[in-house]
């Protein structure tokens, strides 16, 4: 039987007609005339007749290759909930083929020229530094043609990708806006449509940074733009999962209007992309009772290690000893598990010992941002690692005194 094929079958002595959907060996799923799918044990399901209607849908269609034109807004799709559509028969999720449908479903965007290029189709947890380079190059190509850039991205690792592009673009001529959705776009309640609406408007700003455009609140009232290097996903499922840690959102969009809320860099005349990343960096979450050898194994052979320490930036004395041993080959940087606030290693003796061992405090930089930043610096300015990690390059350090 083929997917979508009409069949007569019997189940527990009664005959039915339905559409074959799928089988898993042990089970068979059929759609009844009422629209309901039912799943039955294969051995209780008996096919009586298969209809040959020659009209079975081809489910293997993939996204068509297209390229961005000039002086518009280029939407790059990479997969994730927002860039997917559902096969309404099987429930299977597939990448969108054509985003012209957005004009029908998103409000207030008829004045924008939208282009679409599908560059990846992946779950966001499978994104790595190689993909960031790809995303960045595609964004550069789009900007070269005078386009703003919107990247549809899975929300789980969006903050890493946004940070990566923030650092790799030393200068950019247009905004690069990441957006995603917490409810898939097959649902009438999806947050995707408003997030996209917001991202398209944000992309039209006179601004030269990388941001994340997501719901401000649970309501469909407004969308906020968060700085790529300060944004963090703080809830597994809610629409307002993203916030900027320790600073206001950069801007807010509601009903066709943008209000700017905090400093944003102006666009540059030129595009400067440093597209080398060295991923020999570790991120270690310290916990009470952490085995010295475990820390050692995670840190060994890395050029840089970002530690998420407790409180103001602490680890156990055992871990401190390992740091002292590895300190010649590896640079250690301290961030905090608290997420909010600065690390300060002068308050307690453990902190002072860590400083003495060469561990560099990263103030209130987010650990995930620090990880990506270290890859960028190692890839492009390996000799200035310690100095540049402490510098505020893309707003990744929020100076509360500024």
Partner 1 sequence: MKIGLEIHFQLKGNKLFCSCSTEGTESGSSFRRKLTPVMGEMGKVDNAVEYENIRNREFLYHVSTNSCLVEKDEEPPHPVNIEALNTAIAISEALNCKILDYASFMRKIVIDGSNTSGFQRTGIIGMDGYIETSKGPVRISTITLEEDACRKISEKHGRAEYSLDRLGIPLIEISTEPDIADPDHALETAKAIGHFVMSMNNFRREVDSIRQDVNFSMGFGRVEIKGVSKLSFIKDTLDYEIKRQKALNEISGKFSGRSPELGKFIDISDIFTNTGSSMIKKAIASGKSVMCARLPGCNHLMKYGNYRLGRELADVAKNIGIGGLMHSDEFPAYGLMDDELNKIYQSAGKMDNDAVIVVIADKPSFQILRPLLIERMDKIMKLDLAETRAATPSGETRYLRPLAGKERMYPETDIPLIQITEDHIENIKDMVPKSIDEIKSELVEKYKLSYVEAESLINTNMLSTFLSIVKDFNYPSTVSRILLQIIPEFEKKRDKKLTPDEKADILGVALSQGNSYSRNDTVISILGIAKRKHWDRSTLEMAISLYMLDNIPLSELETRQELIPLTEEEIRKVITELVSSADISEKNIIVLFRKKTVRAFDPKVVIKIFRELKPSN
Q: Of 1, 4, 23, 40, which one interacts with partner 1 (CB under 8 A)?
A: 40
SS3 of the chain: helix, strand, coil, percent, to 5? 25, 30, 45
Please return the burial class of 346, using the count of CB atoms within 10 Å of its CB with bins 0-12, 13-18 and 19+: exposed
| 3-state secondary structure (DSSP) of residue 170 | strand
| Residue numbers 224-283 binding partner 1 by CB under 8 A | 236-239
| Full 3-state SS string of 102-164 | HHHHCCCCCCCCEEEEEEEEECHHHCCHHHHHHHHHHHHHHHHCCCEEEEECCCCCHHHHHHH
**Does residue 357 touch partner 1 according to CB under 8 A?**
no
Sign for the CA dihedral angle at 187, 189, 192, 197 comes to positive
Q: What are phi and psi of 151, to 5 degrees?
A: -115, 120
* Residue 316 · residue 288 · CB < 8 Å: yes
Q: Work out how close the CB of 63 gets to partner 1 at its nearest, in angstroms, rounded to a whole number.
A: 15
Q: Is 172 in the site for partner 1 (CB under 8 A)?
A: no
CA 98 from centre of chain: 21
Q: How far is the CB of 39 from partner 1 (least distance, A)?
A: 4
Q: Of these, 220, 293, 329, 386, which contacts partner 1 (CB under 8 A)?
A: 220
Among 6, 11, 311, 341, which residue interacts with partner 1 (rule: CB under 8 A)? 11
Q: Which of 160, 193, 242, 376 binds partner 1 (CB under 8 A)?
A: 193
184 vs 321 by CB, closer to partner 1: 184
Q: What is the token pair recorded at 91?
A: 């429930």
Asked if 46 touches partner 1 (CB under 8 A), the answer is no
Answer for the pair 179, 196: CB distance below 8 angstroms, yes or no: yes
327 binds partner 1 (CB under 8 A): no
Site for partner 1 (CB under 8 A): which residue of 39, 108, 204, 254?
A: 39
3-state secondary structure 68-80: CCCCCEEEEEEEC
Report residue 338 as tokens.
């608290």
Rule CB under 8 A: say whether 190 interacts with partner 1. yes
Residue 194 or 306: the one with the smaller Cβ distance to partner 1 is: 194
User: Which residues are known catalytic residues?
Assistant: 81, 155-156, 233
Nearer to partner 1, 236 or 270 (CB): 236
Q: Stretches 75-83, 125-133, 219-227, 285-293: which one binds partner 1 (CB under 8 A)? A: 219-227
Distance in Å, CB of 99 to partner 1, minimum: 12
Closest CA to 386 of 344, 341, 330, 320: 330
With beta carbons less than 8 A apart as the criterion, state whether 323 and 354 touch: yes
* Nearest-approach distance from CB 325 to partner 1, in angstroms: 45
187 scored as a contact of partner 1 (CB under 8 A): yes
- Check if the beta carbon of residue 366 is closer than 8 Å to that of residue 339: yes
CB of 260 to partner 1, least distance (A): 24
> Is residue 276 within a helix (H) or strand (E), and if so which, with residue range?
none
61 touching partner 1, by CB under 8 A: no
Smallest gap from Cβ 100 to partner 1, in A, equals: 12
C-alpha dist (Å) from residue 389 to 115, 131, 194, 344: 36, 23, 36, 16
Integer Cα distance of 79 and 97 in angstroms: 11
C-beta of 189: minimal distance to partner 1 in Å?
Answer: 4
Which two three-digit tokens encode residue 192? 């995707």
User: 316: closest CA among 361, 340, 351?
Assistant: 351
User: For partner 1, which stretch binds (CB under 8 A), given 81-89, 269-277, 287-295, 391-399?
Assistant: 81-89
Given candidates 157, 161, 172, 185, which one binds partner 1 under the rule CB under 8 A? 185
Nearer to partner 1, 34 or 64 (CB): 34
Sequence length of the chain is: 402
- For partner 1, the closer CB: 32 or 347: 32
Contact positions with partner 1 (CB under 8 A) in 101-160: 101, 105, 107
**Binding span for partner 1 by CB under 8 A among 7-15, 245-253, 333-341, 393-401:** 7-15
- 6 counts as binding partner 1 under rule CB under 8 A: no
Binding region for partner 1 (CB under 8 A):
11-14, 27, 29, 32, 34-41, 44, 85-86, 88-91, 93, 101, 105, 107, 182-183, 185-190, 193-194, 217-221, 236-239
């Amino acid at each position: 039987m083929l997917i979508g094929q009409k069949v007569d079958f019997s189940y527990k002595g009664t005959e039915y007609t339905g559409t074959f959907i799928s089988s898993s060996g042990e089970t068979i799923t059929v759609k009844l005339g009422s629209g309901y799918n039912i799943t039955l044990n294969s051995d209780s399901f008996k096919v009586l007749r298969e209809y040959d209607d020659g009209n079975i849908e081809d489910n293997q269609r993939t996204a068509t290759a297209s390229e961005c034109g000039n002086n518009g807004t280029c939407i790059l799709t990479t997969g994730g909930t927002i860039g997917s559509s559902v096969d309404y028969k099987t429930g299977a999720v597939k990448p969108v083929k054509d985003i012209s449908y957005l004009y029908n479903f998103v409000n207030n965007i008829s004045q924008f020229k939208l282009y679409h290029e599908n560059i990846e189709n992946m779950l966001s947890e499978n994104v790595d530094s190689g993909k960031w380079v790809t995303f960045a190059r595609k964004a550069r190509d789009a900007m070269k043609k005078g386009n703003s850039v919107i990247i549809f991205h899975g929300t789980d690792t969006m903050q890493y990708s946004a940070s990566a592009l923030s650092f790799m673009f030393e200068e950019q001529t247009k905004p690069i806006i990441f957006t995603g959705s917490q409810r898939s776009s097959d649902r009438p309640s999806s947050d995707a449509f408003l997030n996209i609406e917001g991202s398209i408007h944000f992309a039209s700003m006179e601004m030269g940074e990388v941001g994340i455009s997501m719901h401000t609140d649970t309501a469909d009232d407004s969308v906020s733009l968060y700085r790529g290097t300060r944004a963090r996903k703080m809830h597994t499922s809610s629409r307002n999962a993203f916030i900027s840690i320790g600073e206001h959102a950069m801007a807010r969009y509601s009903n066709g209007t943008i209000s700017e809320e905090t400093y944003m860099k102006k666009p540059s005349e030129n595009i400067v992309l440093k597209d080398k990343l060295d991923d020999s960096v570790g991120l270690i979450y310290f916990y009470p009772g952490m085995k010295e050898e475990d820390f050692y194994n995670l840190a060994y052979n890395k050029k840089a290690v970002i530690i998420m320490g407790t409180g103001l930036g602490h680890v156990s004395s055992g871990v401190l000893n390992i740091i002292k041993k590895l300190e010649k080959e590896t640079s250690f940087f301290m961030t905090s598990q608290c997420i909010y606030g600065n690390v300060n290693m002068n308050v307690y003796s453990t902190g002072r010992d860590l400083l003495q061992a060469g561990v560099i405090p990263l103030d209130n930089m987010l650990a995930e941002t620090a990880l990506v930043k270290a890859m960028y610096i190692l890839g492009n300015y390996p000799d200035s690692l310690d100095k540049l990690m402490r510098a505020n390059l893309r707003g990744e350090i929020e100076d509360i005194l500024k």
